[in-house]
Amino acid sequence: MAAQLYRDTAVVLRTYRLGEADRIVVLLTEFHGKVRAVAKGVRKTKSRFGARLEPMSHVNLLLAKGRELDIVSQADAVESLAPLVGDLDHMTNGMAALEAIDQMTLDREPAPHLYRMLVGALRTIGTRAGPLVVPAFFWKLLAVDGVRPELDACVRCGEPGPVVAFDLDEGGVLCRQCRSGTAISPEALDLMRQVLGGRLNDALAVDPSAATHEVSTLATKALEHHIERHLRTVAMFER
């Protein structure tokens, strides 16, 4: 019986070894969701896939459908989304984006909007630094997953302001009377409103500050709260 072949474009999220020469690649495809596929012979020095199946590679693929694991039959580079080797900040940010999306997607469940968000985020990471590139991506991911935080009024009493705290269990900001969770500064709140309120480019252009650190810490906590586990990569970039 001939294997069923299909084409798709994907970003490599991570890879792991399989036997002596093969590797399993975890892919976020545009139209087939997250797919696990075997890349045969990829660890040999003369592999026909070259370095095209490393994390952050953006590739056009021809895949053969398998019961659990598909098989990579062809892989052509679309573009390199991996930042220049040696740029540790960009690399770490990219890995954090990959890990977050890996945690937020299910095998074989099409999520073209998440694929597009990831490609967009990796392009941004590769071209501009900025303390809020990854945190903004985390907040956006949460928003598309239906857990957009309430930022405009106290989540408990509806008081429009001033709000002084952010509580993950409540899903948003709180006024002085109702406060719980962690304190949030007006500057950090303003940045979060920019990120989630259509002024993303303004937020991405800001310099590192106490407020960006607050937004970043909250973004990580919110994502970890949502996926109910810790992100491995974050410890590396939150310092």
Q: Contacting Zn ion (CB under 5 A), which of 148, 156, 193, 213?
A: 156
Closest by CA to 232, choosing from 54, 87, 98, is 98
Q: Contacting Zn ion (CB under 5 A), which of 51, 88, 157, 205?
A: 157
Q: Contacting Zn ion (CB under 5 A), which of 54, 89, 159, 187?
A: 159
Cα separation, 93 vs 43, in Å, equals 26
Cα separation, 159 vs 76, in Å, equals 54
176 or 229: whose CB is closer to Zn ion? 176
CB of 230 to Zn ion, least distance (A): 30
56 or 174: whose CB is closer to Zn ion? 174
Closest by CA to 63, choosing from 75, 46, 77, 55, is 75
Name the one residue in this structure whose structure tokens are 């970890």: 224
Q: Contacting Zn ion (CB under 5 A), which of 96, 142, 178, 234?
A: 178
Cα separation, 135 vs 223, in Å, equals 10
102 or 159: whose CB is closer to Zn ion? 159
Judged on CB neighbours under 10 Å (0-12, 13-18, 19+), 170 is: middle
Cα dihedral across residues 92, 95, 101, 105: positive or negative: negative
CB of 180 to Zn ion, least distance (A): 10
175 or 203: whose CB is closer to Zn ion? 175
Q: Contacting Zn ion (CB under 5 A), which of 175, 189, 192, 218?
A: 175
Q: Is 37 in the site for Zn ion (CB under 5 A)?
A: no
- C-beta separation of 60 from 76 below 8 A: yes
Binding to Zn ion by CB under 5 A, coded x per residue (else -) over 115-154, reads ---------------------------------------x
- C-beta separation of 29 from 7 below 8 A: no
φ, ψ for residue 85, nearest 5 deg: -60, 140
CB of 166 to Zn ion, least distance (A): 13
> Can you give the binding site for Zn ion, defined by CB under 5 A?
154, 156-157, 159, 175, 178
